[in-house]
Structure 1
């Protein structure tokens, strides 16, 4: 009875407390001072399934998306943007205490929370102050589908404008609501940065955060691979503090050196008395900057080479001393007829996939330096012109310690053809920044890597009602650089509206346009002849990766052109199922590497090539992505293979360097790097591609020798184990042995 009375007495108290809490929450929620405020975004949203291009109210309307986040019109979405800016006008100067940003992720759809949402507050356009990163949180991780509201609290700044600089993580970025809540009174206005200064400051913040993420990853990797090292916890904690306090990019090298030094201590405890390690590694295998020793002592370096072809070997050197050591790698001299041998060091570059990648092949010139605890891959390339076998040694010195590694070079009496049957293409536009000043070197490099298809970009094709001789001469000069290619593709780029007219005068497929084209095509053929190409080698490439109305435009154009010019031929790249409608009108269809497109393409009886256009290319496997593409082409009966791109480091006025994925408007696609003194630096990916092209020729030769079924079975076994980087080399050596008998 007493409990019942007590409950009755307490009930009004509980009701009052809960009502008060609800009232507080309601008033707190209602105090969103950004509600229904005006804002601008740059660039404008461009994800077609979410908010319309004209929408400028969704982000502050107080309404959250229900249903799948990025398919709702109440969500604003972007694709393919490196940086997004949102400016909200709060209409009056306010004390600001807290910001929220509601977004979503879904790793299965390649959607991630933004990498950063840097927030700035100002009373005007020239006094912004940085107040923090809204999405800096332990919860900002990849994962399954999830909607999350990120919050930045404790701001206590004063201003009228909220400026957000959003850095997407990956290709997409989404948000459905931004909220601003009041805070304690601030004693001063926001800061002293104008919009341009904010953008510059954002770039600095982004690079610092990228550097911190790389260093943290390096340290985390060391910790995970150094269990039981008794001093690691203390030293790692000190290094972690240094990473968190990093304020300039110039200091990151010292932190990296400290991490390697700590690794050196762990390795010296494991290998007492050793000055350095030498270990075997497959030249195409992935490699971490802090690899766990593989307990594979360096044995013979054995290379087997077809006549006119290449082979590669690699090993890893690790400095165990407490001081930096100079490493020398020097092959002994061999007879003049012996294969040419080049030695490269393979430094690490930072990929847009946030990985350290051992990729560029920097000529070692006999020596390079390793910090304490640092490892580096040494990469050897051999090119054989005469059959035979040669035994020699490679001397490897680390400081005063020198060892000799046996070298076995075998050039099989199996010659690669002078003209390859595989059509190899990588859109090596000679105007791209890394090669623009070294076009001849680039062409020689492309030819040396068996690229035999040239593409003439649209900006070298004169679109003018009256094509002047000088315009044709400029195109001829460009074509002449690729003299020797087996095919030439003229990329008209009708995907872009500006190319659908002739200098804005004749509309695509109008009567005037058709008349112009019928006059232009014979002049193009004559121009190509002067550059060294026959009409049989020429293909028009009207659209790239056509879809939507581009497919219908191509079909109409090709149907008309074949009637008017029977000798004309067409090439196209197809990456969507709807584009397969164009197959009957193409002479060559290059289909993106997606199995669901291959069956219909093969059934078309057209000549089919395969290609890849993946991004974050530094992190792509030299073996599985680059080398095995040619194996897949052979297995499927395709006649060509390619990838985007040989030298693309971005577009615009300052596309950046191939060495840096983060300095341009997007990550690099290039497989080469700018060398010192104007040279070209190759990569493991580029060398793997060349090996794949040669593999295709060897499989073709083996098919003539043993039958197509036997050759396809070899290819199938290699393709069935894309993670086994030894498989292709083993099969290649088997083919050379069989055909040498």
Structure 2
């Protein structure tokens, strides 16, 4: 007999063992060609009311299933079962047994093996029953055991091609055999393992119907990062079973040298939640943190993505790793734990914590739990305040505005305020000459309060009174702007420009606007307008407006910073931070994040946007280190293939190597 054996202790640790030395029974040479499989009942897949008790399983009307991989041949099946009870020691195995078996769904007849009944007590009485299964092909087979007797018990099962084999009456029966996965084809291997771990580029959407190419398990994923940078690795899990699969995701770093382990606080495990999307595959964009237990449930034939967010802050340059362990909690026993190691190379290049660009998102005075940490961690430094009192109010109350201002200016890295109000747009009383002085005085009170009483420099705040003007709206804006100028000529005023803005409009607006916020489509497609804006010498902060950009490819968000670098503009303006209920997947929503229970839930787009801003810092660092020609060439190459994230990653790594080499030469 050819037997591959596994000890009970090793069986329990099988998720950690890919191969083991095996013990073989004392058999003759003529027997070694036989295929032999042995398993204790408690290590099969229990269902229904079946209950393990020691080494045996009480039936109680339930069932067990043994998934076994064979070399192929003519097989016999043996079951060690409870034989009877005190009044009838062989009542369950004589004259047709009370035990039932199906092999690959086909019933097989069982009979008592002569001279194997062993009665020690009502609780401990056993016999072997057998069935001639016949031919089984090479590969995976499923054997289901049931019984007509609820108080029956299963103890052990044997499957063999040896025609003259006789099981021993008493135990121990030796060591369990392991399944040889090399005997399976790809489809069988997927079914046997139950699930596959695979990876994909971080910018790719991975909907529930995504599938890996082949069934080969991926055991390593590589991440390249700089110091003081946010990076990520993704691990996709595909459930091949016809039933839900409950898993636990955890870090299992025992095999990683202590000095090379990523600190616990530097890795956050998240998972991508797929929501409906109009006319597209479900969008796995929301990235909530994995719960405290790390438990996930995958529906039958569903793919789910784990997002390992990595923060290299305070790490020295070098190689680090963490091992993610995926442990089935509710699955057939054949579905063992699998592991994948995330290897992180941290280059000796430091990414700045503060960003030279002005980064602004419309957040409309919101105060969501977690945003005070989330916004600064994504380089936001220009904050929204929409609480300026009405200029013509009889009594001016700045309390609400001040409270909002104090809160957001306390955020790490906050350096300026984007004041916005709708008073000029919503109340045309200012256009009546008799009301003008009141509007001027009210605006002056506001400017004096912000600058003199609160101490903000004129370069630390701006005012937005009209939005996306065109046609006669330009005239209204210019007249309203004169009121602001009369109130305080040093207050800077912003204006958002749509793609319909012409050169003539720019000429009309240039004396009224202090900060240009052109629509990104205008930046990309109207070089003559952009050139006219540059000629004014005023800051240019391109913006993404109220578009259905939630459904844009995540790669677009990383690419945006490369576009901004190429144009050498001064900032980034996004509508909006969190708008409406983004969890309603089909709803139109331009927001970047999702609301969570006590925290902000980032999106894949939000994380890619931050990576893009880190890329901008890298480009800027390389240019300032004397590599501007190489940087410009790299940017042109990346923007020439905007949908190819591989080119972007390669280009980025070239810059990292260039900077690392420069740093080494300097030292």
| Structure index of larger Rg | 2
Of 396, 411, 429 in structure 1, the residue corresponding to residue 326 of structure 2 is 396
TM-aligned CA deviation for residue 556 of structure 1: 3.3
Cα deviation, residue 632, structure 1 = 0.6
Q: Does 1:673 align with 2:594?
A: yes
The 1:523/1:671 distance shift into structure 2, 3 A limit, reads: closer
Shift of 1:674: 2.2
- Structure 1 runs (4+) deviating above 6 angstroms are none
Indicate the SS of the match to 2:477.
Answer: helix
Query: Which residue number in structure 2 is paired with residue 543 of structure 1?
Result: 466
Contact 1:301-1:313 at 8 Å conserved across structures: yes
Change (3 A) 1:673 1:519: closer
Residue number among 394, 399, 404 corresponding to 1:478 in the alignment: 404
* 1:404-415 alignment, distance < 5 Å: 404-415=339-350
Aligned to 1:128: none
What is the match of residue 630 of structure 1?
561
Using the alignment, how far apart are the partners of 2:455 and 2:345 within structure 1?
Answer: 38
Residue of structure 2 equivalent to 1:660: 584
* Residue 299 of structure 1, CA deviation: 4.7
CA distance in 2, matches of 1:542, 1:715: 36
8 Å CA contact 1:280–1:297 kept in 2: the answer is no
Of the candidates 269, 293, 302, which is equivalent to residue 374 of structure 1?
A: 302
Q: Deviations over 1:693-728 (max 9, x none)?
A: 111111111111134332222222222222212333
- Give the secondary structure class of the aligned counterpart of 1:359: strand
Cα distance 1:473–1:528, how it changes in 2: closer, same or farther (>3 A)?
A: farther
1:304 aligns with 2:224: yes
Q: For residues 634 and 487 of structure 1, what CA distance do their matches in structure 2 show?
A: 21
Deviation at 1:328, TM superposition (A): 2.4
Inter-CA distance 517–720: structure 2 relative to 1 (3 Å threshold): same
Q: Deviations over 1:91-119 (max 9, x none)?
A: xxxxxxxxxxxxxxxxxxxxxxxxxxxxx
Q: Could you tell me how far 1:476 is from its partner in structure 2?
A: 0.7
Aligned residues of 2:269 and 2:290 also touching (Cα < 8 A): yes
2:371 pairs with 1:442: yes
Q: CA deviation at 1:688?
A: 1.0
Shift of residue 528, structure 1, vs aligned partner: 5.8
Higher helix share: 1
Structure 2 length-normalised TM = 0.62
Q: Is structure 2 residue 618 aligned with structure 1 residue 618?
A: no
Equivalent residue number for residue 204 of structure 2: 285
C-alpha offsets along residues 324-370 of structure 1, whole Å, 9 cap, x if unaligned? 21222222356687470011111211124554101111212322011
Question: How large is the Cα RMSD of the aligned pairs?
Answer: 2.8
Q: For residues 273 and 218 of structure 2, what CA distance do their matches in structure 1 show? A: 20
Q: Deviations over 1:571-617 (max 9, x none)?
A: 11111224534234322111112233343223332321222225333
Quote the residue 1:356 is aligned against: 282
Cα 1:577–1:659 change in 2 (3 A) is same
Cα deviation for residue 738 of structure 1 reads 1.8
1:368 is paired with a residue whose SS is: strand
Structure 1 residue matching 2:192: 3-state secondary structure: coil
Larger relative contact order, structure 1 or 2 (CA cutoff 8 Å, min sep 6): 2
Out of 354, 359, 363, the residue aligned to residue 419 of structure 1 is 354
Question: Which residues of structure 1 form unaligned runs of 5+?
Answer: 1-265, 502-506, 650-656
Moved more, 266-275 or 632-641: 266-275
Provide the rounded CA distance (Å) in 1 between the counterparts of 2:228 and 2:616.
Answer: 14
Hey, what does 1:592 align to over in structure 2?
A: 519
What CA deviation, in whole Å up to 9, does each residue of 1:140-183 have, x standing for no partner?
xxxxxxxxxxxxxxxxxxxxxxxxxxxxxxxxxxxxxxxxxxxx
CA distance in 1, matches of 2:336, 2:243: 14
User: Are the structure 2 counterparts of residues 739 and 467 from structure 1 closer, same or farther at C-alpha, using a change threshold of 3 Å?
Assistant: farther
Confirm or deny: 8 A CA contact 2:424 2:480 kept in the other structure: no
- Structural mapping, 1:715-734, within 5 Å: 715-734=635-654
CA contact under 8 A between 1:461 and 1:492: conserved in structure 2? yes
The alpha carbon displacement at 1:318 in A equals 0.4
- 1:451 is the counterpart of 2:375: no
TM-score, reference length from structure 1 = 0.56
Alignment of 1:107-256 (within 5 A): none
Q: How does 1:428-439 map to 2 (within 5 A)?
A: 428-431=363-366, 436=367, 438=368
1:173 maps to: none
1:490 Cα deviation from its structure 2 partner: 1.5
- Quick one: structure 1 residues 696 and 571, their matched pair in 2 at CA, closer, same or farther if it must change by over 3 Å? same
* Distance of 2:627 and 2:478 partners within structure 1: 38
Query: Which shows bigger deviation, 560-569 or 348-357?
Result: 560-569
Asked if 1 retains the 8 angstrom alpha-carbon contact of 2:393 and 2:442, the reply is: no
8 Å CA contact 2:516, 2:533 repeated in 1: no
1:643 is displaced (CA, Å) by 2.2
Measure, in 2, the Cα distance between the counterparts of 1:429 and 1:499. Answer: 20
Q: CA deviation at 1:495?
A: 6.9
Asked if structure 2 preserves the Cα contact closer than 8 Å seen for 1:342 and 1:380, the reply is: yes
Q: How many residues align?
A: 449
2:633 to 693, 700, 713: 713
Residue pairs, 1:97-116, within 5 angstroms: none
